[in-house]
Amino acid sequence: MGVGWVVRISLRGRRTRAWITAVGVEPPQGVGLSEITRISGHGPPSAIVELASWASERWVGPRPRFLRTATAPRNISRVEPRAATSPAGGVEHPLIGEALRHRLSIVRTPPSVSDTEIVRTALTRGRGLILLPSVDRARALKRDLIRAGSEIAMYPDDWALSAGGVSTVGARSAAWAPVGDLDVVVVVDEHDEAYQEESAPTWNARDVAIRRAHTAGVPCVLTSPVPSLDALHTARLVVPSRSDERRGWPVLEVIDRRRDDPRAGQWCSPRLARIVTSDRKVACVINRKGRARILFCDGCGELATDDHGRPLAQEGEDLVSPVDGSRRPVVCEHCGSTRFRRSRIGVSGVVTELEALAGRPVVEITADTETVPPADLYVGTEALLHRLHPSDGIQTVVFLDLDQELLAPRYRAGEETMALVARAARLVGPRENGGRVAVQTRLPRHPVIDALLHADPGRFVAGELRLRTELALPPAVALAMISGAAAPEFVSRLGSPPGVTVMGPDEGRWLVKAPDHHTLSAALTGVKRPPGRLRIAVDPLRA
């Protein structure tokens, strides 16, 4: 028994689970020692206990939250050491091979590259920890690797195998898998928001994996068709040739709605009508995130945006920026018209209209959909892209209103849109197999659309990084969001530490900025938490 073991102790008259985090420690003066009432079994190894301490500071949360994630769902009484096995045969992926020669790299892989192709190359190095955005993809990868001759553990189901030294795959929680003596760490689709815990502490599995690899002194390979700016800020970028990358993406068709009569239907263009009445299998995505008021000119159809491309709202005789509150007259900068219309696309009625237009059955898919029946035409929220699979034979994905994604009032709106289209690209497959993604938009010159149109995510990155730096937004700075009933008292106690900027309140939330995560963590952890509900979200996704 030693550091990391799970035990039971008596605390205030109750037996509770605890972890041994240190041995041979002298108790503080005036503190008495109590006996351990029971030894439950193996827990996270000492390296993971240290990792939990680091994460507790990085994301300003209690260490037991991380230790619970790193602990087996049932008591483990015995762990048998295992030798690492590598997949037999196969062709090495050249970009992954290049990335393995460096400590931290991000490989820009086209959406058509398979998880198995990436991971089989990485596991030629030996024992690995492999993270994927979903449990389904992790299980599918495990099956493929076992067929190739590898012994693979699935976290947390195979916790004991992982602790014994078997290469381990899993989703977000697998970042805390107990596998030791690592030779390589891989995070597939590092941009995916599924890697970030929604409840506080809002830790990100990608960053935990990077820390593990750094501590172990082994290569960490991140992959993504649309690398996040956070990863690009710290990792070495490896890119395919332009011809290879372009072949790995589907055809992107931009349906420019500025040419449509603004008084026509709000969701269906003539081109869309032709797509849904074709004999192709089509999935239509309707943006249902909020009820954002997006204004477009009644004369020319151009959207009302500020100098940074962010949407403006109309208040009386002014167009107002929701970001900084700046105002300007209600005049279209393109044609001089003073009349604007609100675009409010929603799911209500679209299914019925689409069915009548297409002349064939339409299946609706939302987050509440449990089973998806086979069909040739689907419509739904972005949950549709999670429920359908490449094996369903979808040939075309249409985004009915991409502008609500591009103009969402969040600083990461561009990245989120890139990720959404990349998911659709994986669903329909590459252009050589007939894959096609169509987007309806009134912003055909938007940097995100330009990058996707050329199958070159790098075209979006430089300008976005420059904008983030000018606006002092991540990854140029570290950011935290403070909310909850106790937030006003917490912010009052925080004050104005050197190098830290506090903004707010805005709808009961405060944003705290610092030049780096160390400064941010030191400022937040140095405040005594007041009683009451308090949420501290470091690196918030929806700021």
Same domain, 22 and 112: no
Q: In angstroms, rounded to a whole number, what is the distance separating the alpha carbons of residues 536 and 23? A: 31
Q: How many CB atoms lie within 10 A of CB 347?
A: 16
Beta bridge pairs of residue 305 = 311
Same domain, 270 and 409: yes
Same domain, 17 and 146: no
Q: In angstroms, rounded to a whole number, what is the distance separating the alpha carbons of residues 41 and 411? A: 45
Give Cα separations from 256 to 261, 398, 405, 444 (angstroms): 11, 13, 16, 6
Task: Describe the crossing of helices 517-525 and 46-58 by its angle, rounded to 10 degrees.
Answer: 80
Within a domain: residue 322? Answer: yes
Within a domain: residue 27? Answer: yes
Give Cα separations from 90 to 96, 118, 167, 172 (angstroms): 14, 11, 18, 27
Within a domain: residue 85? Answer: no
Strands 318-320 and 327-329: antiparallel
Residue 299: which region, alpha, beta or left (left: phi > 0; alpha: psi -120 to 50)? alpha
Same domain, 278 and 316: no
Nearest residue to 218 (alpha-carbon basis) of 131, 119, 125: 125
Same domain, 314 and 325: yes
Q: How many CB atoms lie within 10 A of CB 196?
A: 17
Q: Of 336, 367, 389, which residue sits at a domain end? A: 336
Query: Which parts of 135-189 are beta strand (E)?
Result: 152-154, 167-170, 184-187
Same domain, 117 and 235: yes
Tell me the whole-structure pTM to 2 decimals. Answer: 0.88
Q: In angstroms, rounded to a whole number, what is the distance separating the alpha carbons of residues 384 and 365? A: 6
The domain total for the chain is 5
**Model confidence over 417-440: pLDDT tens digits?**
999 999 999 999 999 999 999 999
Output the CA angle 401-296-459, nearest 5 degrees. 55
Same domain, 34 and 108: no
The 3-state DSSP composition of the chain as helix, strand, coil percent (nearest 5) reads 30, 20, 45
180-194 CB burial, b ≥16 within 10 A, e <16: bebbbbbbbbbbbeb
pLDDT given for residue 28 in this prediction: 87
CATH code for the domain in which residue 230 is found = 3.40.50.300
Within a domain: residue 502? Answer: yes
Within a domain: residue 78? Answer: no
Q: Are 69 and 62 in contact (CB under 8 A)?
A: no
The DSSP result for 276-332, as a single string, is: HTSSS-EEEE---STT--EEEETTT--B-B-TTS-B-EEETTEEE-TTT--EEES--
Same domain, 266 and 408: yes
The contacts of residue 471 (CB under 8 Å, 6+ apart) are 308, 411
The SS3 of residue 168 is: strand
Domain that holds residue 235: 94-245
Q: Are 132 and 117 in contact (CB under 8 A)?
A: no
Within a domain: residue 83? Answer: no
What residues of the chain score a pLDDT lower than 70? Answer: 87-91, 261-266, 288-294, 322-323, 342-349
Same domain, 497 and 364: no
The DSSP result for 203-222, as a single string, is: -BHHHHHHHHHHHHT--EEE
Q: In angstroms, rounded to a whole number, what is the distance separating the alpha carbons of residues 488 and 414? A: 31
pLDDT given for residue 88 in this prediction: 61
Within a domain: residue 441? Answer: yes
pLDDT given for residue 334 in this prediction: 86
The SS3 of residue 454 is: coil
Within a domain: residue 543? Answer: no
Q: In angstroms, rounded to a whole number, what is the distance separating the alpha carbons of residues 316 and 139? A: 55
Q: Of 442, 467, 492, which residue sits at a domain end? A: 467
Same domain, 497 and 426: no
**Model confidence over 474-499: pLDDT tens digits?**
999 999 999 999 999 999 999 999 99
Q: Of 336, 370, 389, which residue sits at a domain end? A: 336
Q: In angstroms, rounded to a whole number, what is the distance separating the alpha carbons of residues 443 and 407? A: 10
Output the CA angle 348-351-357, nearest 5 degrees. 130
